[in-house]
Structure 1
Amino acid sequence: MPELPEVEALAAFLRERAVGHTVQRLEVASFSALKTYDPAPSAAAGLAVTSAGRHGKFLDVGLGPDLHLVIHLARAGWLHYRESFKSPTPLKPGSGPIAIRVRLDDESGFDLTEAGTQKSLAAYLVRDPAAEVPGVSRLGPDALAVSLDEFTSRIRGRNGQIKGVLVDQEVLAGIGNAYSDEILHAAKLSPFALTGKLTDEQVSALYDAMREIETDAVQRSIGMKAAELKGEKRAGMRVHARTGLPCPVCGDTVREVSFADKSLQYCATCQTGGKPLADRRLSKLVR
């Protein structure tokens, strides 16, 4: 799933390539992907792309004076920028992995695609993202904008295991499964440490790790082509998706805890005092 650094990089890429151009057509091939019906997709035609930014993990493309195409790429969605489309023929509904296509006046543009059978990509054509996009309206403060005091208050204000609290978008916006693994590894915290039991020093270390990991990922991602971002994300990981490989800090084997539809990775030596966490499906968690 694209997280804060990748969405920030996609926004920067669109600011460089698309802002200043005019939308020729907004084509919808997957009607389940577009969550709004008023204004209609045809309202985007003839409008200039005026901005590209984000709200947490939501990409926000400004169109004309008051419209926004807000996109949540979900787990398997992505943005593919095209220098030139091969055919001017409009997309047909259900035509492969392409959900939405935005054609620009210079024959370039971008496709929003989604792999797999579970379709979760969501797009909204709205005038006020904060009021009209439910996921945006519920977002907590951005992970790269929150102060230490507010971070501490929000972490301690939500009881639970720190892994789950970090990825709760109502607590902090922008952090997902991958970077939360990296942040917890850098902070030397167990994914299942309870927020109510964290010391001031641990919360401060968590904040510093969050800032370091997210800022570094953004700096590495900005300026890259959209097609290169996934590879850059994987290459920068220390524990996430590295099960069975050595921890780059201590050399211990990176371990995994699996759930029904996702997993987390961690280093027992760095994060849990050398104690492996039991797989939740099989036995009680070891903290």
Structure 2
Amino acid sequence: MPELPEMEALSQFLGERLAGRAVARVYPVAVHALKTYEPPLSALEGRSFEGVARYGKFLDLRVGELHLVMHLARAGWVRWSERLPAVPPRPGKGPLALRVRLGEPDDGAGLDVTEAGSQKHLAVYVVRDPLEVAGIARLGPDPLSEGFTPEAFAGLLAGESRQIKGVLRDQSVIAGIGNAYSDEILHAARISPFRLAAKLSEEEVARIYEAIGVTLGEAVERARGTALKDLKAEKKSGLRVHGRKGEACPVCGDTIREVSFSDASLQYCPTCQTGGKILADRRLSRLLK
């Protein structure tokens, strides 16, 4: 799933290429992905792109006074082409969900929005205000914003009875952090993913706050300027624990472990994060003591 760093790079890439260019045609190939019907997709045609923004993991393409908003979910992505096929796409079983073709003088260039796999969660909206999208309206603060201070972060955790892994992934608490970067942040902070947020000490909260800034900042820098087709591979290459079950921890050399969490799985290092204890599968038992 693309998270904040990849979406930041994607927004910068598209912002550089779309500004001032006009929409010629929009093809809704996978109708189920379209979550709004008024204004229609066709209302974008003939208007020019005026900017690209990111809200957490949402992408906002501003087209005149309208906004084409996308949430790429787990398997969605955007492909840029300087020369799209001349034949209009037809609905089918392929990954293509939406095509945006640019008009003159850039006739033929444009972007495809795709979604791999059988589970379809890609969401596309056309709205007059991004806050009309419920997912954006309920977002918490962006961890790259100036307002995301140590004091603000500590306030978000105060009274939180949930495990810190779940809190970091909750978009209504902090926008943009998903399964992969929450694993990376907690590993860098040397914190167990199952620690209760409200039970963390001030020093532990400070470590997590610092790890958020460093982990996301480094990921954004790695992704900056990377071609869209290479962004997913770039993300994986920079991960130290997530998706690396059975490999050696790059910090201490212990074996990276995996355990189920909510609707996914997480990876962690026992030596770095849990004092050497192995976390039990939460579907079967509690933390081993």
TM-score in terms of structure 1 length: 0.96
Q: How does 1:127-138 map to 2 (within 5 A)?
A: 127-130=128-131, 132-138=132-138
Contact persistence 1:152–1:203 (CA under 8 A):
yes
Q: Which residue of 1 aligns with 2:73?
A: 74
Deviation at 1:259, TM superposition (A): 4.5
Aligned Cα RMSD in Å? Answer: 1.2
Q: How does 1:38-187 map to 2 (within 5 A)?
A: 38-64=38-64, 66-87=65-86, 89-94=87-92, 96-105=94-103, 106=106, 107-130=108-131, 132-145=132-145, 146-187=148-189
Deviating more after overlay: 89-98 vs 263-272: 89-98
Contact persistence 2:187–2:272 (CA under 8 A):
yes
Deviating more after overlay: 261-270 vs 153-162: 153-162
Q: Which residue of 2 aligns with 1:202?
A: 204
Q: How many Å separate the matches in 1 of 2:25 and 2:159?
A: 45
Deviation at 1:30, TM superposition (A): 0.8
Q: Which residue of 2 aligns with 1:3?
A: 3
AA in 1 matched with 2:70 = I
Q: How many Å separate the matches in 1 of 2:133 and 2:255?
A: 42
Moved over 6 A (4+): none
SS of the equivalent of 2:221 reads helix
In structure 1, stretches of 5+ residues that fail to align are none
SS of the equivalent of 1:32 reads helix
Deviation at 1:260, TM superposition (A): 6.8
Number of aligned positions between the proteins: 284
AA in 2 matched with 1:72 = H
Q: How many Å separate the matches in 1 of 2:23 and 2:160?
A: 43
- Residue 34 in structure 1 maps to residue 34 in structure 2: yes
AA in 2 matched with 1:68 = H
SS of the equivalent of 1:245 reads coil
In structure 2, stretches of 5+ residues that fail to align are none
Deviation at 1:151, TM superposition (A): 0.7
Q: How many Å separate the matches in 2 of 1:12 and 1:215?
A: 15
Deviation at 1:200, TM superposition (A): 0.3
Q: How does 1:241-256 map to 2 (within 5 A)?
A: 241-256=243-258
AA in 2 matched with 1:276 = I
AA in 2 matched with 1:281 = R
Contact persistence 2:160–2:196 (CA under 8 A):
no
Deviation at 1:133, TM superposition (A): 0.1
Q: How many Å separate the matches in 2 of 1:115 and 1:48?
A: 29
Q: How many Å separate the matches in 2 of 1:155 and 1:101?
A: 41
SS of the equivalent of 2:53 reads strand
AA in 1 matched with 2:232 = K
Q: How many Å separate the matches in 1 of 2:277 and 2:262?
A: 23
Deviation at 1:93, TM superposition (A): 2.2
Q: Which residue of 2 aligns with 1:21?
A: 21
Contact persistence 1:29–1:95 (CA under 8 A):
no
AA in 2 matched with 1:133 = V
Percent identity, please.
57
SS of the equivalent of 2:211 reads helix
**1:263 pairs with one of 241, 262, 265:** 265
Q: Which residue of 2 aligns with 1:282?
A: 284
Q: How many Å separate the matches in 2 of 1:124 and 1:157?
A: 35
Contact persistence 1:58–1:136 (CA under 8 A):
yes
Deviations 1:169-213 (A, max 9, x none): 000001000000000000000000001110000000000000000
Contact persistence 2:259–2:265 (CA under 8 A):
yes
Q: How many Å separate the matches in 1 of 2:261 and 2:129?
A: 36
AA in 2 matched with 1:25 = R
Deviation at 1:284, TM superposition (A): 2.0
Deviation at 1:227, TM superposition (A): 0.6
